[in-house]
Amino acid sequence: MATSQEIGAFLTKLRNDAGLKQAALAKRLEWSGPLLSRIEGGGRAISDEELDIILRGIGTSQALSALTTLRRNWSLLDAPSLTDPDSDLLWRAEEVAREVHELAERPDVRQFFERRLVRYKEELIAAAHKVRDKSYRVALLGTIGVGKSTAICRAEGLEMPSDRGMPKAVLETGSGGITICEVHVRRGPSYGVIVEPCSEEEIRRQVSEFATFLLNPSQPDEDGGGVDGGSPGISREVERAIRNMAEFKRRRAERKPDGAVSPAWDEARELAGQHKEVKDLSVEILARMALHRRDRRDIWYSDTSGQPALEWLQGMFEQINNGRHPEFGLPKRIELVIPLPILGENDIEVTLVDTQGIDDIAERADLEQHFDDSHTIAILCTVFNEAPATAVRQLLIRAKEGGVRTLKSHAAILVLPRPGDALAMKDNGVPVHSAEEGYDVKAEEVSLKLHPLGLDGLPIQFFNAAEEVPGILRHFLLQRIRAVQDEHRRELSEIIEGAEALLINYEKEQSREVMRVVARQLTTWLSNNATLTPPINRRVRDSLARAIRSAHVQTIYASVIREGEWANLDYSHQLSHGARRVAAAMAEPRLRAFQEVAVNILNDPEFADAHDLVRQTVRALSSCFDALIRKTQLVGQSVYADEMRADAEFWRACYREWGRGRGYRERVAKRNEEWFDDTEHDDSDIRVIETIAAEWSAGVASVEALLEQN
């Protein structure tokens, strides 16, 4: 049974929903006000009899049905909250799981049924956990300057009046390259900012690379020439924060009224002139940053601040994001906390994730991780004229190639037009008459471009932040969350129905005979497809090679000096994706073929008594495929990345290519190819393929075990 605190909160909600004051209910029950107050506050345990009296006193249909809910005894599944709208579905899963468990424990149950019963119990627990978990993340992904931060602030009302017409967003916005790290917006007890800081080692490395740039300001151009550029080792956002934390003053060149030019001045470069060694300069910069005083992790709004809450929140975020707050270090992640339900929803917990914009290649671990989470919706943002942007298509292609099977339910396109974009559209050469018509024409173009990926049915939403009401965006994001919830409920309901069918058919000999026939068909297919064929044209290194050849030279250099550990070009991530890509190419066609065989059987009413068996085997093989992808990802990451990281000479050779003139990108790409072609490393792909084959074979064997009719 629930705790006294949970019951008290639940009773308070039921009373409030009924429109009753606490004193009025106490009078109706003929109880003292303090007694009811202690019960609702969770400070006093309550008996079943007292609970029944209170619920009848409230008198609503919801209250009268709550006693049954409160008396439920959960043993196999985790109990949901008392206000969970899926409580009845989860209880049904609990009851079926118990029946399945009890039958599996009987000594007279044949192994064929026992294996299926055990499998059903595992499925019920896993699927119920997805339904019970009401925490969802909506991650907005896109290029820098596309408008992700503005869209989030519009959706949540995190805006303040501005004399420029458009409201001012709480999240700092601009033309891109503004936010230093990923930002999460979530509900909490008050307005506040929580910071996950970079480690001391990470800060020291960033400072060392900034110092290296100050001492060696001349950097190659985009083809390896020799012009002055930005620091290649750190992002401009991080460089800005380091400068502010160290309080380096800087003045740009300025032309005076008399025509004379006031020269530029940079205190950081002046300091660099006094120190010729990177280590010495780094120490000086770190000393100025005073990291020992920057140990604060959170800060909360107080009415005594003298500022409106949103104005305080905006100012605090801007200070922390730019390294101007003296108590906070370099942030790795920032959480903006507001005391309001995100997207206006109280029955679910939503976090809006403002990812760092794509400034070079889109294939980043911090972005692609969102496609693998069952409770995250990836919203791919794109400007109107480019929709869907190249970076968006690239992320979708990579997800498909990497074996992600949930894109249609867990991903969507958000097109962010500027004023006038939609009305500039033409339909067959004729100008459109309204923004809505322009949206329709552009939506057809987007779908057409997504058709080769098999994703032309991906949800698409248009939102003009300057002219349209935020409710449009909120509604769309909630729709996507509801779609994921419905998918989780559908999955659990299918498992419940399958388990119930097995329990009903357990004693039926006729059903057993039908299952024997179907099992033989499926077993034959599995036996003939237990061995996978290695792909001819895919290698683990391919993702890394493509990323290097498409990345900016400064991104490549930043990765080289970090021995492959650079967020924008992470060798480990690229190799892990390359391994996933090989695994998907080998195993996914077999999975789809098995699903087609299953569909044919499910469409045949003659095999109706075996349909639950067919669906269970499809789920089992699908689960094996997902596990295969995850394991291959880990193997691909470790089988190469560990060896490369340990090869100091390889990194030194790549580093020496910097500044040697044109062709830097190709020279580094060639050195990578040579490293992979070296005989000492040429068995790594074989090890990945062997892992894939072994995992698939084991998965097929586990499915065959469900079909054995012993």
Q: What is the pLDDT of residue 509?
A: 63
| pLDDT tens digits, one per residue of 576-598 | 999 999 999 999 999 999 999 99
Beta-bridge partner residues of 378: 139, 411
Q: What is the pLDDT of residue 66?
A: 82
| pLDDT tens digits, one per residue of 34-60 | 888 998 888 888 888 888 899 888 888
Phi, psi of 383 (to 5 degrees): -75, 160
Q: What is the pLDDT of residue 227?
A: 39
Q: What is the pLDDT of residue 99?
A: 95
Q: What is the pLDDT of residue 369?
A: 95
| Among the listed residues 474, 463, 475, 403, the one whose alpha carbon sits nearest the alpha carbon of residue 436 | 463
Q: What percent of the chain has pLDDT over 90?
A: 60
Whole-model pTM?
Answer: 0.91
Q: Are 656 and 662 in contact (CB under 8 A)?
A: no
| Among the listed residues 122, 82, 237, the one whose alpha carbon sits nearest the alpha carbon of residue 172 | 237
Q: What is the pLDDT of residue 644?
A: 83
Give CA–CA dist 365/277, Å, rounded. 33
Decide the pairing of beta strands 411-416 and 331-338: unpaired
Which CATH architecture best describes the domain 137-188+339-468? 3-Layer(aba) Sandwich (3.40)
Give CA–CA dist 529/592, Å, rounded. 12
Q: Is 380 helix (H, G, I), strand (E, B) or coil?
A: strand
Band (pLDDT 50/70/90 cuts) for residue 232 is low
Give the mean pLDDT of 127-143.
96
Asked, as a colleague might, if the bond just before 107 is cis with ω within 30 of 0, I would say: no
Give CA–CA dist 177/175, Å, rounded. 7
Q: What is the mean pLDDT of the chain?
A: 90
Band (pLDDT 50/70/90 cuts) for residue 112 is confident
Q: How many CA atoms lie within 13 A of 542 on its CB side?
A: 15
Q: How many CB atoms lie within 10 A of CB 457?
A: 11
Residue 231 scores a pLDDT above 70: no
Residue 270 scores a pLDDT above 80: yes
Total residue length of the chain: 710
Q: How many CA atoms lie within 13 A of 689 on its CB side?
A: 17
Decide the pairing of beta strands 411-416 and 426-427: unpaired
Q: Is 97 helix (H, G, I), strand (E, B) or coil?
A: helix
- Structure-token match 């080998």, residue found: 586
| pLDDT tens digits, one per residue of 60-82 | 888 888 878 888 889 999 989 88
| pLDDT tens digits, one per residue of 592-636 | 999 999 999 999 999 998 999 999 999 999 999 999 999 999 998
Q: What is the pLDDT of residue 682?
A: 64
Beta-bridge partner residues of 416: 383
| pLDDT tens digits, one per residue of 142-154 | 998 899 999 999 9
Q: What percent of the chain has pLDDT over 70?
A: 95
Residue 510 scores a pLDDT above 70: no
Largest Cα–Cα separation, the chain: 103
| pLDDT tens digits, one per residue of 453-502 | 899 889 999 999 989 999 999 999 999 999 999 999 999 999 999 999 99
| pLDDT tens digits, one per residue of 522-538 | 999 999 999 998 888 88
Give CA–CA dist 413/459, Å, rounded. 6
Give CA–CA dist 249/226, Å, rounded. 27
Q: What is the DSSP letter of 533?
A: P
Residue 684 scores a pLDDT above 60: yes
Q: Give the homologous superfamily in CATH for domain 1-71.
A: lambda repressor-like DNA-binding domains (1.10.260.40)
Give the start-to-end residue ranges of the domains of the chain.
Answer: 1-71, 79-133+479-505, 137-188+339-468, 200-293, 507-707
Q: What is the pLDDT of residue 167?
A: 84
Q: What is the DSSP letter of 531?
A: S
Give the mean pLDDT of 183-201.
95
Asked, as a colleague might, if the bond just before 308 is cis with ω within 30 of 0, I would say: no
Give CA–CA dist 129/480, Å, rounded. 19
Residue 710 scores a pLDDT above 80: no
Band (pLDDT 50/70/90 cuts) for residue 228 is very low
| Among the listed residues 162, 203, 378, 414, the one whose alpha carbon sits nearest the alpha carbon of residue 290 | 203
Q: Which two tokens stand for residue 698?
A: 């084991």
Q: What is the pLDDT of residue 5?
A: 85
| pLDDT tens digits, one per residue of 561-571 | 888 988 889 99
Residue 31 scores a pLDDT above 70: yes
